[in-house]
Amino acid sequence: MSACCRSLVVLSAVAMLGGACRSTDATRATTVASGGEDNSMSGDRNEGREGWHELTPAEAAVIEEGGTERAFTGKYWDHHADGTYVCKRCGAPLFASDTKFDSGTGWPSFDDALPGAVREVSDWGRTEIVCAKCGAHLGHVFRGERMTERNTRHCVNSASLDFQPTGAEAAPAKEARADAYFAGGCFWGVEHLLEGQPGVIDVVSGYMGGHLDQPGYKQVSSGTTGHAETVHVVYDPTKTTYEALAKRFFEIHDPTERGHQGPDYGPQYRSAIFVTDAEQRRVIEGLIAKLRARGYDVVTEVEPAGKFWPAEEYHQDYYERSGKEPYCHIYTPRFGD
Ligand SMILES: [Zn+2]
């Protein structure tokens, strides 16, 4: 560790003593969530995973950890449209809507799967079902319950599924989506102040820019993984522009603070924008030039977007859930328009 980093740690400790930071909640939650697991392995995690969809922590808990969502809470248990249910992770078609029936269990239930779509795995007296293509956990299959003529119930988590409607419904389903990645200090505040902007579909807190696979909050907080606390903004480009969102970002954090944002010190709190293509870079460089012309000594780093790792569930929508207000992010007009 360099002398520079050491001083950052000291400054960070001072900021915590000042009571400005998120010490209590975050520390407690970290203890619960991290469970001492070792995320330091790297390797072939991404091999054969091209085209897989990014999972929220709740989806990953089901699809990757074999968890079960609570009955009557999923998106599809009471869903009756015509179409095909596909794997949430890899998109493979799994169940046709005409095999879906109302089992009263609170989970989507199908009395048949599409040919070859589902693989059965023995699971302590029950039979687990997984996506035959990618191995995603789907749920369990039960036979002999006499609920339908086929006498079979594929009991599936909604979290493992996506739905593709057939016919006329299919046309408008393809909504316009584009991505933006911003890092400007504690992601709770950045997420909070970007949510609800016109055209914003979703904002997820997470980590980007580091060298460790599946980083956890504790590891990123050490300041040694290279990640920045980053938000992934999904927006509708027919309703807003990348430039409008980037302008907003420059006005809800202080792009002149180097090595910290407000009371949060360390490289994980750096001001950075992760661009996905040359056009995004052009937009950002234009905005930075405008701010410099207005006297702001902008230190925001423009970095190529890498893999985005969603943060632990307890970091998502933090301010909405806690009812608190951001401690270090406030809207401040900087462009003079
Ligand atoms: Zn799959």
Predicted confidence (pLDDT) per residue in 147-165, tens digit: 988 899 999 999 999 999 9
pLDDT of amino acid 16: 35
> Residue 132 C-alpha to ligand 1 middle, in angstroms?
7
Weakest-pLDDT range from 9-13, 65-69, 140-144: 9-13
Active site (annotated) includes residue 328? no
Which one-letter DSSP state was computed for residue 267?
G
pLDDT band at 300 (very low <50, low <70, confident <90, very high): very high
pLDDT of amino acid 240: 95
C-alpha 322/C-alpha 320 separation (Å) is 6
185 contact partners, CB below 8 Å, separation of at least 6: 229, 253, 257, 260, 261, 262, 264, 269, 271, 328, 329
Weakest-pLDDT range from 33-42, 111-120, 194-203, 314-323: 33-42
pLDDT of amino acid 46: 55
pLDDT of amino acid 47: 59
Mean pLDDT value of segment 184-195: 93
pLDDT band at 20 (very low <50, low <70, confident <90, very high): very low
Closest listed residue to residue 141, CA positions, set 130, 157, 131, 127: 127
pLDDT band at 38 (very low <50, low <70, confident <90, very high): very low
> Residue 160 C-alpha to ligand 1 middle, in angstroms?
9
Amino acid in position 286 = G
CATH class of 3-31+175-322: alpha beta
pLDDT of amino acid 5: 25
> Residue 138 C-alpha to ligand 1 middle, in angstroms?
9
Q: Where are the domains of the chain?
A: 3-31+175-322, 57-169
pLDDT band at 33 (very low <50, low <70, confident <90, very high): very low
Residues 21, 131, 155, 328: which is the catalytic one?
155
Q: Is the pLDDT of residue 212 over 60?
A: yes
Q: Which CATH number fits domain 57-169: 2.170.150.20, 1.10.3720.10, 3.30.559.10, 3.30.450.20?
A: 2.170.150.20
Closest listed residue to residue 206, CA positions, set 229, 184, 226, 183: 229
- 39-77 pLDDT, tens per residue? 333 334 555 788 899 999 999 999 999 999 999 999 999
Residues 21, 90, 186, 328: which is the catalytic one?
186
> Residue 89 C-alpha to ligand 1 middle, in angstroms?
5
pLDDT of amino acid 13: 34
- What pTM does this model have? 0.52
> Residue 133 C-alpha to ligand 1 middle, in angstroms?
5
Q: Is the pLDDT of residue 18 over 80?
A: no
Coil/strand/helix, residue 301: strand
Closest listed residue to residue 186, CA positions, set 309, 297, 300, 270: 270
Q: Are strands 228-235 and 200-208 parallel, antiparallel or unpaired?
A: antiparallel
